[in-house]
Amino acid sequence: MRQYVIKGGNPLVGDVTISGAKNAALGILAAAIMSDEDVLIDNLPDVSDINVLLQAIASTGAKVVRVDRNTVKINGKSIRSYRIDDCFIRKIRASYYLLGALLGKYKEAEVSLPGGCNIGSRPIDQHLKGFKALGAHVEIENGMIMAKAEHLRARHIYLDMVSVGATINIMMAAVMAEGRTIIENAAKEPHVVDVANFLNSMGADVKGAGTDVIRIRGVQKLHGSEYTIIPDQIEAGTFMCAAVATRGDITIRKVIPKHLESISAKLEEMGAFVDEMDDSVRVVAEGRLHPTNVKTLPYPGFPTDMQPQTAIALALADGTSVVTESIFENRFKYMDELARMGARVKVEGNSAIITGIKQYKGAHVSAPDLRAGAALVIAGLAADGYTTIDGIEYIQRGYENFDGKIRSLGGCIELVEDDKDIQKFKLKIS
Ligand code: UD1
């Protein structure tokens, strides 16, 4: 079984370059099939979620050429099938973006219903409500969502809650609808804006992305484009927390500091020094951290995808902090794992009460999901002794070369296959 083994205790120091945003890339790759011309996308993160989505796209008959590790060329002209198989949606939930893209372009799509997920139940009623509002007939049969329309007609759509996925999916379906669609209570996350910018680069007419009202005037077709994906806000935030938890000094390069403001503000409350430059941030932490409270909210609030990494740093603060999760109901599963490393944590409803300790103790833990997995790696880096982490396939879904980047900052981490490899690692670093 693949695991990470970590010898903690080294402050992470140096420079790290952030990859393209996974969550933006998922929307952009799906949207790329909407053109019948070549679309070249770069700054693509080389992570397993992206590679699975590319396979799902290729399964429709679209041409997918991996130009290099971080660049792909897609041409949707050869698409013959509007159906995305269950095997893809099981591996990666976000293949449901192909529903909006195929429906928008061909007025027909069939995608398997995404199941539950280990961070909570994740309904897609708002996505379907949007498609129906645009005039699609939507049916669920044998676990498949079937959406079909003679014509898609623009409408005024109010989302009942702020949803990144619904905003992106409806936006894609609406770019080739007749007339002007308005999405109210839209998500404002940086990746929503990036997908809108990408659609516009193909000739779509999307205005207002980044605010809570998005206006889309339908066009008849989309042309080819060359597009660079924005840097990953969450990968950057993860390294910021790694600097803080290990009392290190990391300059995080190729970022958009504006996207990191809520994270920077929290880390400063914890006593870290954060210096924002044009396209990099430096994070330095020394001594004992201060406790503080965190509540996750839609952008520009504190991201739910940064909740575990921040909690890992707070569990080393001098006092008690409260972390409140208001987006997903089941996002504290990693707290049991953290307790194995000595953390003093108590989960009550959607809050975790965390009383800081001086240092984690290395332990054998298991990643319950992507971001919590990355957070446990940070805990291992800050711990006294050895930590082994199972379930690293979750981490590889969203972090490009995570262990390599950590090693370049002086962290002792290795991807291992078995006990023999662990022994070798221990011998190497002792
Ligand atoms: C996206 C991100 C994920 C991030 C989340 C919140 C991608 C691929 N994933 O997930 O990393 O944690 O945003 O920032 O971009 N909801 C409904 N009905 C719907 C849609 C959503 O009830 O139809 C609820 C969800 O259960 C959740 C909340 O709305 O409580 C927000 O979910 P949403 O923003 O849609 O998250 P995702 O797009 O799935």
- Test site for ligand 1: of 138, 238, 327, most ligand atoms within 8 A of the Cβ: 327
The span from the CA of 135 to the CA of 187, in Å, is 22
> Which tens digit of pLDDT belongs to each residue from 106-154?
999 999 887 655 666 788 999 999 999 999 999 998 888 999 999 999 9
pLDDT value, residue 120: 67
Cα–Cα distances in angstroms (integers) from residue 102 to residues 84, 149, 261, 265, 424, in the given order: 10, 11, 35, 40, 50
Specify whether the CB–CB gap between 151 and 135 falls below 8 A.
yes
Cα of 291 vs centre of ligand 1, distance in Å, is 28
* Mean pLDDT for the chain overall: 96
pLDDT value, residue 85: 86
- Find where tokens 């809650």 sit: 161
> Which tens digit of pLDDT belongs to each residue from 201-235?
999 999 999 999 999 999 999 999 999 999 999 99
- Test site for ligand 1: of 48, 96, 161, 193, most ligand atoms within 8 A of the Cβ: 161
Residues with Cβ < 8 Å from 232, sequence gap 6 or more? 18, 19, 20, 21, 22, 23, 24, 45
Tokens of 363: 């332990």
pLDDT value, residue 24: 98
Ligand 1 atom at minimum distance from 298 CA: 14
pLDDT value, residue 122: 80
Low-confidence ranges of the chain (pLDDT < 70): 115-120
Cα–Cα distances in angstroms (integers) from residue 183 to residues 105, 130, 209, 368, in the given order: 19, 9, 10, 34
Q: Report pTM.
A: 0.97
Annotated catalytic residue 117: yes
Tokens of 380: 């291992």
Query: 300: cis peptide before it, omega within 30°?
Result: yes
User: Per the annotation, does 122 bind a ligand?
Assistant: yes
pLDDT value, residue 298: 97
Q: Evaluate: CB of 125 within 6 angstroms of ligand 1.
A: yes
Q: Which of 87, 117, 241, 412 is catalytic?
A: 117
Cα of 96 vs centre of ligand 1, distance in Å, is 12
The span from the CA of 73 to the CA of 92, in Å, is 21
> Which tens digit of pLDDT belongs to each residue from 286-296?
999 999 999 99
3 state DSSP class of 395? helix
pLDDT value, residue 97: 95
Ligand 1 atom at minimum distance from 187 CA: 34
Ligand 1 atom at minimum distance from 165 CA: 38
- Find where tokens 């290990």 sit: 246
pLDDT value, residue 143: 83
Output the 3-class SS for 101-154: HHHHHHCEEEEECCCCECCECCCCHHHHHHHHHCCCEEEEECCEEEEECCCCEC
